[in-house]
């Protein structure tokens, strides 16, 4: 599936589940940190499938954040530069995510600095995927294939999967 088409499907999926207007950038940022934590756990365990899934999930949440903040960041160009090692890319990704958090908490909307943070975070995810012999495209496609039919509901601004709604935390 072409990148722009996949991004459009992710945006429509989020719209259909009321994630754009029914949630906040702050809540989506928390979701981004959850997915990033899963990526770090995958790296710590050298679990390539978890890494692939988590990179795709981070991308999905970044697309949702981009839409929520009315940013015009174009996720489709994929850049490739020199390898630095996964630890450096994790560190740089954390710094960009912290910067995104700061901007959405103070302004809640897009500006060119937020777009720079999206670009750099995306670049870090690309570099991490490359370290494991993956492509960002394959990670995003895997994430899309997993969520495309997912149902659930928004609880306190967070999308909760249907299978998790029976958890006593949500009752």
Tens of pLDDT along the chain (171 residues) come to 577 788 899 999 999 999 999 999 999 999 999 999 999 999 999 999 999 999 999 999 999 999 998 887 777 654 333 446 788 888 888 988 988 888 888 776 666 788 888 888 999 999 899 989 999 999 999 999 999 999 888 888 888 888 888 776 666
- The pLDDT value recorded for residue 77 is 54
- The pLDDT value recorded for residue 170 is 60
| Model pTM score | 0.75
12-30 b/e (C-beta count within 10 Å ≥ 16 → b): ebbeebebeeebebebbbe
- The pLDDT value recorded for residue 9 is 93
Instruction: List Cβ neighbours of 1 (8 Å cut-off, separation of 6 or more).
Output: 9, 141, 144
- The pLDDT value recorded for residue 132 is 92
- The pLDDT value recorded for residue 70 is 87
Count of residues for the chain?
Answer: 171
- The pLDDT value recorded for residue 34 is 94
- The pLDDT value recorded for residue 3 is 72
First to last CA, the chain: 38
Give 159's strand partners: 154
């Amino acid at each position: 599936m072409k990148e722009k088409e996949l991004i459009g499907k992710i945006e429509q999926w989020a719209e259909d589940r009321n994630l754009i207007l029914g949630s906040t950038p702050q809540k989506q940022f928390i979701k981004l940190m959850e997915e990033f934590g899963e990526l770090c756990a995958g790296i710590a365990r050298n679990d390539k499938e978890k890494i692939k899934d988590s990179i795709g999930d981070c991308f999905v949440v970044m697309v949702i954040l981009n839409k929520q903040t009315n940013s015009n960041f174009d996720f489709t160009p994929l850049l490739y530069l020199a390898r630095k090692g996964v630890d450096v890319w994790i560190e740089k990704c954390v710094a960009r995510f912290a910067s995104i958090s700061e901007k959405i908490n103070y302004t809640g909307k897009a500006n060119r600095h937020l777009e720079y943070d999206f670009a750099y975070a995306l670049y870090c995810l690309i570099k991490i995927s490359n370290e494991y012999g993956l492509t960002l495209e394959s990670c995003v496609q895997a994430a899309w294939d997993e969520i495309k039919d997912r149902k659930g509901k928004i609880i306190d601004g967070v999308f909760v999967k249907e299978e998790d709604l029976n958890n006593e935390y949500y009752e």
